[in-house]
Amino acid sequence: MYKKIVIPLDLTDKKSTKSLFTPALEFVKSFGAQVHLVHIIPDFGIQIVEDYLPRGWKTAQKAKSEKYLKEIVDKYVPEEIRAKVKTYIGHGAIYDQVISYSDKIEADLIITYAVRVELKDYMLGPNASKIVRHSKISVLVIRE
């Protein structure tokens, strides 16, 4: 049923990464799906903010993210699934980039984690809720 599953990761939130992988990998194993781990380096909304960051900031963030994604794959993904794992690092509005990447690879499912469960977020994190509302494909939201 599902052949390509996108899993957006917040590399700054180790708790959500750990909580997300167990149920997400069950889906991957059940369907023999390809897994696309996605991390988006958020932008600041206006270019002027980025102009004050050190030169090469984006490149350094991307390299750091690539290294951390590799560590996550090594730690959480069983050897028999690793050949089906692809990683992607983007830059911009998180929910928009996740949906755009999902469309680009023609994904069947997005599995995300509901972080910062607070009433003000209507029981979903702001990015998870936007992914759910705007995605053309199914979205599974994992809660702890």
Place of tokens 């050190």: 54
Domains in the chain, CATH or no CATH each? 4-142 (3.40.50.620)
Coil, strand or helix at 88: strand
Q: pTM score, two decimals?
A: 0.84
Residue type, 103: D
Lowest mean pLDDT of 73-82, 89-98, 101-110, 123-132, name the range: 123-132
Q: Are 5 and 110 in contact (CB under 8 A)?
A: yes
What's the pLDDT tens digit per position in 19-41?
A: 888 888 898 899 999 999 999 98
Report the DSSP pairing between strands 109-113 and 34-42: unpaired
CA-closest candidate to residue 13, choices 129, 127, 131, 130: 127
